[in-house]
Amino acid sequence: MNANSVLVEVTRGEMIESRHRGAVALVHSNGQTIARIGDVTRLIYPRSALKPLQALHLIESGAAAAYQLGEREIALACASHNGEEQHVAAVVHWLKRLGLDESALECGAHSPRRSVDREALLSQGKKPGPAHNNCSGKHCGFLTAALHEGHPPQAYIAREHPVQQAVLALIGELAGRSLKEAPSGVDGCGIPVAGMALEHLAMAFARLATGDGLTGARASAARQVYDAMVNEPFMVAGTNRWCTNAIEAGRGAFIVKTGAEGVYCAAIPEAGIGVALKIDDGAHRASECAMGAVLSKIPCLKALFADSPTELIRTPVKNVAGKTVGEIRPAAAFQQMITGRLG
């Protein structure tokens, strides 16, 4: 197998200290591959980048309407959040509307992402609970769908649970490839994951962006997910997170979603394009940089990125004293490849 191209470089002083290889697929909602860099046919686990697609079932099933969920909750269902006070409070409130509490969540507990939030818990003598889990909003969505459809709320994370079966089938339909025979695993929060090629993942996000090829109900659900992420970007991630900052800078022109192990996806309605990328070594710092580089070269977004913070594409590397000593940047050859394919 040929090695993927270097997408991102990390410099220190006058040298390139580290390099990150990866692959990128840009696919139009009509099925045409606009650009491919690296091996976009190799199966990967999309991880949390799938959340906007998983949230479609919450809406399409009628569960969101039945429980009168708004954009705040729908964005939270798409989130890999920081576990900030606002995120946790929204999760707890959502569970109360279902007649449940944190014990119903099967995602497990972990500490908030930010030190300030961890310290706040400690100062109150509290321990993190399942609501602090970055996936807790998604799990609220699964519970909501299960209750609405008359399925047991227990073991809702099991692959054989009707909600998980419906979600996997939906994703396969959007991607144009059934996931029934795909390699499978268990995600960090306990739900099933299935192997997908980047080109099929990009296709699913292109359809999310445009609604092309979707039924009326699914196209409406896609629009609601997109609008919720645009209008509630803080709920999608949180303070100082690339997802939130990029969506805010985009002003409705695109949405992005991160996934563990260097995965990132985007949906751009005006271009009719979905983007999916994976950094081979799983580095999050590289996936953000690579996605920023790709988005900045898409013709309908060029002007927008010209006015956006440069940190969406190039991030300073700082030493302990806070002095800038290098940067995380797109590799020059990668930028040339994107420009050559997108014009």
**pLDDT at residue 308, rounded to an integer:** 80
**How does 9-41 read in b/e, with b if 16+ C-beta sit within 10 Å?**
bbbeeeeeebebbbbbbbbbbeeeebbbbbbbe
Q: Show the low-confidence residues of the chain (pLDDT under 50).
A: none
**pLDDT at residue 43, rounded to an integer:** 98
**pLDDT at residue 13, rounded to an integer:** 97
DSSP of 53-75, one letter per residue? HHHHHHHHTSHHHHTT--HHHHH
Residue pLDDT, tens place only, 180-201: 999 999 999 999 999 999 999 9
Please tell me the class of the 6-342 domain: alpha beta
Structure tokens, 211: 């609604």
Helices 242-250 & 216-231 angle (0-180, nearest 10): 100
The residues, any chain, with a CB within 8 Å of residue 230's CB and separated by 6 or more, are 247, 250, 252, 255
**pLDDT at residue 254, rounded to an integer:** 98
**pLDDT at residue 1, rounded to an integer:** 63
**pLDDT at residue 328, rounded to an integer:** 98
**pLDDT at residue 310, rounded to an integer:** 85
8 A C-beta contact, residue 156 and residue 146: yes
Distance between CA atoms of 115 and 198, rounded to whole angstroms? 34
**pLDDT at residue 307, rounded to an integer:** 84
Residue pLDDT, tens place only, 290-338: 999 999 999 999 999 988 878 899 999 999 999 999 999 999 999 999 9
Indicate the pTM of the whole model: 0.97
Structure tokens, 284: 């999050």
Distance between CA atoms of 98 and 14, rounded to whole angstroms? 57
Structure tokens, 279: 């950094």
**pLDDT at residue 166, rounded to an integer:** 98
8 A C-beta contact, residue 204 and residue 178: no
The neighbour count for residue 282, using CB atoms within 10 Å, is 15
- What ranges do the domains of the chain cover? 6-342
The residues, any chain, with a CB within 8 Å of residue 56's CB and separated by 6 or more, are 170, 174, 208, 218, 221, 222, 225
Integer CA distances (angstroms), 180 to 167, 196, 203, in order? 12, 11, 18
The neighbour count for residue 199, using CB atoms within 10 Å, is 23
